[in-house]
Structure 1
Amino acid sequence: EESSPYKTCLTHGLVLDPQRKKMSKKLGNAVAPEEVWSKYGADILRLWFSSVDYTSDMGFGDEMLSPVVDVYRKIRNSFRFMLGNIYDYDDKKHRVSYGELGELDKYLMHKLQLLILKAREAYESFKFFRVYHMIHNFCVSALSQFYFDIMKDVLYTFAPDSKERRGAQTVLHDVLTVLVRLTAPILSFTCEEAWLSFPLGRPEKSVFLSEMPRPEPSLQDEGLASRWDRLVEVRDEVLVALERAREKKMIGNALESRLVLYSEDDNVKNLLKKHADLLDQLFIVSGVELSNSKGDLGEGSYAGEKVDLLVSVQKARGEKCQRCWMYSTSVGLAEEFPHICEKCVRAIRETQTNTNGR
């Protein structure tokens, strides 16, 4: 019986020069692939092909590769950050169960499941440019500008074996294993390098012996995600207020500030009250106060554009902790640690206790 020797046939357009003219040796505008990978590396070339709509003709040149190089660095740096922060994490010993993770950790895991679902759909329909944009956006928006930024304090200043730090490492481990596998069909060499760099073991010897990740319904929480999507909107407004305070020379960096927040929207009020203990961490400031009176904010408060919110940026109270750099009135209360805050004193004592107990 006659039949095609393949299940699917995928066609693509021609690769043209930057002026969209046909490449030829006669015109002197031909670019050999080895010229590109000897200068940029093979993964940059692969990443460029994944970024374009291959169903039509594609213009190609150095100016087209420049933005792709920047995207590659973002993805690679995300891998490096995660690898660097799980250096002492053993998944068999230190894993924190999903139920014990913080809400921020669970929120990122929810977003990761959505990425897996959409990336698999894009791969299966050969929409590689969608995978390119999804992974880049996740690395920038969900990781670098959000989770990494917020969790640095936990990763760097909490006791090594604290539940918060081990929980963050659990999330970084899981995000990294997913991202490396999702990206491997495109950035083959980089992903294999990252896979072989796992500090304390990996499931398979090669990323190409592992399976493409599948979304886990148990790690999705629409209610939590809805709340945190709203918190992210609040955070965006706060970041604008902090930037304006910097422009006015009121503060140097966000840790030099404390915030007073006020809203007439009951939903926003309840949301902020529910997460009051997390707000200084979420906004990366040295204190947050929720006010019931607009008069407590004073003049010059920032009014949110998308959220009913007034933000007053004020100088932080207390002294600067030499360990975590946050300002606190508890700095110096412990005689043996005169230059650090109460939170850091607890972390040091917990570390000492755990070390002595081994």
Structure 2
Amino acid sequence: KSLGNVIAPQKIIDKMGADVLRLWVASTDFSGEMTVSDEILQRAGDAYRRIRNTARYLLSNINDFNPNTDCIATVDLLPLDAWLLDHATTLHQAVLADYAAYDFHSLVARVHHFCSIELGAFYLDIVKDRIYTGQKNATMRRSAQTVMWRVAEALTRWIAPITSFTADELWAHLPALAEPRAPSVFLATHTDDLVAVLSDEQRAFWSKLINLRDGVNRHAETARNEKIIKANLSATVTLFVDDALAAFLKPVADELRFVLIVSELTIQPLANVPQNIPIDTLPTGETLAVSIAVSETPKCERCWHHQADVGSHVMHPTLCGRCIKNIDGAGEIRSWV
């Protein structure tokens, strides 16, 4: 300290906020040497913003959700929503164990990974189409909101001992319950509303589907870099798959384009793959090849998907049939995602 090679806590608080300082302390393994620098604090700030922005996104998408009247029963959740609930349950148990063991740096890493990967890079990326374009009270929309609400309730409690100011602010904006909640998150207990809902076989299904999606996304990134497409939704994708993968994808084939976030998707036998397209192997052993081209169909101005039926409806010439069904019809029905 006499040499001046320290960073004053008050300076960090004034510049980045107290919660960033608290997050840095919690994310550092106190059993070893604790180091700090502007770069390390910047990383802590980035991690804090990821967690905070994820919580804000969850709150914004349950703004019209009333947990007292709009909740979907766990057994009726769409499979993608059930996957998130199951994953959050596993994380919840790990978080409680980390707190019990004072293993704060592992806890922070788990929660940050959950916000960045399982939520940000997968679930929220897929489900936003359903939230934004579906009918307000549609089961497919309320299913997603039910799980997002339950995750928001749990996330607020997970981070409360560490990012205290942020958690208390989130607590004040969670949807009101029939039985008034505690006035502060610090007067509440951890939620008991998370339950494991998937079998090991179902978890393996989603793990394989995520691996498939990651592989297609790598090809899509290459296509964007090569200026073949501007965005995933401007793409038409053809998957050439072996027999095992074809059988695996059959149940979800009609909604697979929503998982991959592309406008058009076709699945063909691997034997049909052109010679210039490389063949990939999934971690589970199945083989596939991915062909990506720009869609030549018009773009729906509401959902941004490129669909052949845009322009064929007199009353809504700029919308696709799916959006028209959600606006004027009985509404879209999803079975998986």
- Structure 1 vs Structure 2 CA RMSD: 1.9
Give structure 2 stretches of 5+ with no counterpart: 332-337
Q: Which residue of 2 aligns with 1:332?
A: 311
Q: Give runs of aligned pairs for residues 140-219 of structure 1, distance below 5 A.
A: 140-201=116-177, 203-214=181-192, 216-219=194-197
> Aligned partner of 2:271: which letter?
K
Which of 57, 81, 85 is the aligned partner of 1:109?
A: 85
Residues 325 and 132 (structure 1 numbering): CA distance in 2 closer, same or farther, change over 3 Å? same
1:260–1:117: structure 2 CA closer, same or farther, 3 Å change rule?
same
> In the alignment, which residue of structure 2 is the partner of 1:62?
38
SS at match of 2:290: strand
Cα-to-partner distance string for 1:158-198 (whole Å, 9 max, x where unaligned): 11111111111111101111111111111111011011112
Alpha carbons of 1:260 and 1:30: their partners in 2 closer, same or farther (altered >3 Å)? closer
- Percent identity between the aligned chains? 33
- Residue ranges of structure 1 left out of the alignment (5+ in a row): 1-23, 353-358
Task: For residue 276 of structure 1, give the secondary structure of its aligned residue in structure 2.
Answer: helix
| CA distance, structure 2, for counterparts of residue 221 and residue 177 of structure 1 | 24
Instruction: Please tell me the residue identity of whatever aligns with 2:267.
Output: L
The number of residues matched between the two structures is 326
**Of the two, which has the highest radius of gyration?**
1
Deviation at 1:318, TM superposition (A): 2.4
Among 258, 263, 267, the alignment partner of 1:290 is: 267
Q: Equivalent of 2:292, from 283, 305, 313? A: 313
Q: What aligned pairs does 1:195-274 form with structure 2 within 5 A after superposition? A: 195-201=171-177, 203-214=181-192, 216-266=194-244, 268-274=245-251
* Match runs of 1:42-57 below 5 Å: 42-57=18-33
Runs of 4+ in 1 over 6 A off after TM superposition: none
Distance, in Å, in 2 between the alignment partners of 1:299 and 1:253 is 26
The Cα offsets for residues 308-343 of structure 1, whole Å up to 9 and x where unpaired, read as 111111333521101111011111222100110001
The residue type paired with residue 41 of structure 1 is G
Check 1:329–1:92 CA distance in 2 against 1; reply closer, same or farther (3 A cut).
Answer: same
- Return 32-41 or 276-285, whichever deviates more: 32-41
**Gap change, CA 1:258 and 1:43, over 3 Å in 2:** same
Tell me the residue number matched to 1:85.
61
Structure 2 counterpart of 1:263, one-letter code: V
Secondary structure in 2 matching 1:261: strand
**Do the aligned residues in 1 keep the contact of 2:229 with 2:294 (CA within 8 Å)?**
yes
Residue number in structure 2 paired with 1:119: 95
Q: Which amino acid is the alignment partner of residue 49 of structure 2?
A: R
Q: Give the Cα separation in 2 of the matches to 1:216 and 1:31.
A: 41
Higher relative contact order (CA 8 A, sep 6+): 2
Structure 1 residues 309 and 270, CA, compared in 2 at 3 Å: closer, same or farther? same
8 Å CA contact 2:310–2:320 kept in 1: the answer is yes
**1-side partners of 2:182 and 2:59: how far apart?**
17
